[in-house]
Amino acid sequence: MSDMTAARIHKEEPHLIPVKTPVHLEWLRRQRNRPLLMKYFRQTRPITKSQQKQWRKNLNRKNARLFIVAAGGRWIGYVGFNPIDWRHKHAEFGIFILPEFQGGGHGKAAMRLLLEYGFVKLKLHKIYSDVIDYPNERRFEFYRKLGFKKEGRNKEHYRKGGRWFDSIPFSMFKSKSKK
């Protein structure tokens, strides 16, 4: 992709496409396996096609809302809730923006769409994520800028590459949402 294309897409407002088809799922699998993104996820190895198929089979669709983030006619990332706890009105979210489209405001814009969908349409009370605390972690700024608050620290919560990492739960409540 040329710099011109990235610059053009940086100006476009993103929108969300519900993940429905095998083409969507295969695209997500391939992107998640990119080393520049995979290092931020809980997965430690590339996801195979059969693992993806099994994951989809086990996915409780009532408790998940997954979206591809699109802008300027390109698929540029993912946002979604999984799982949603309907009884307690909370949901865990995930997000990624492809490295070539990061830093252009798409993450923030896509997250705002997801927050609006979660708080207004799904009527959730709380939206959260549990973020792995790598050394020199700067991504927390992203959550803070959106209005998420740090809830504490989960000690040695994830194991990656033979090492333990803490994680930081970030959350937002409906009453505190800027929407």
Ligand X SMILES: CC(C)(COP(=O)(O)OP(=O)(O)OC[C@H]1O[C@@H](n2cnc3c(N)ncnc32)[C@H](O)[C@@H]1OP(=O)(O)O)[C@@H](O)C(=O)NCCC(=O)NCCS
Which residues form the interface with ligand X (CB under 6 A)? 37, 40, 94-97, 102-108, 131, 138-139, 141-142, 145
CB of 41 to ligand X, least distance (A): 6
Residue closer to ligand X (CB basis): 59 or 109 = 109
Residue closer to ligand X (CB basis): 71 or 124 = 71
Residue closer to ligand X (CB basis): 20 or 34 = 34
How many angstroms from the chain centroid is the CA of residue 175?
A: 22
CB of 76 to ligand X, least distance (A): 9
Specify the DSSP class assigned to residue 164.
E
Residue closer to ligand X (CB basis): 22 or 46 = 46
Closest-CB residue for ligand X? 107
Q: At what angle do helices 49-58 and 22-32 cross, to 10 degrees?
A: 120
CB of 80 to ligand X, least distance (A): 11
CB of 22 to ligand X, least distance (A): 23
CB of 26 to ligand X, least distance (A): 19
How many angstroms from the chain centroid is the CA of residue 102?
A: 13
Task: Decide: 114 and 179 in contact? Cβ < 8 Å.
Answer: no
Residue closer to ligand X (CB basis): 22 or 99 = 99
Buried b or exposed e, range 1-18, using 16+ CB within 10 angstroms = eeeeebeebeebebebee
Q: Outline where 22-97 has alpha helix (H).
A: 22-32, 35-38, 49-58
CA distance 8 to 56: 34
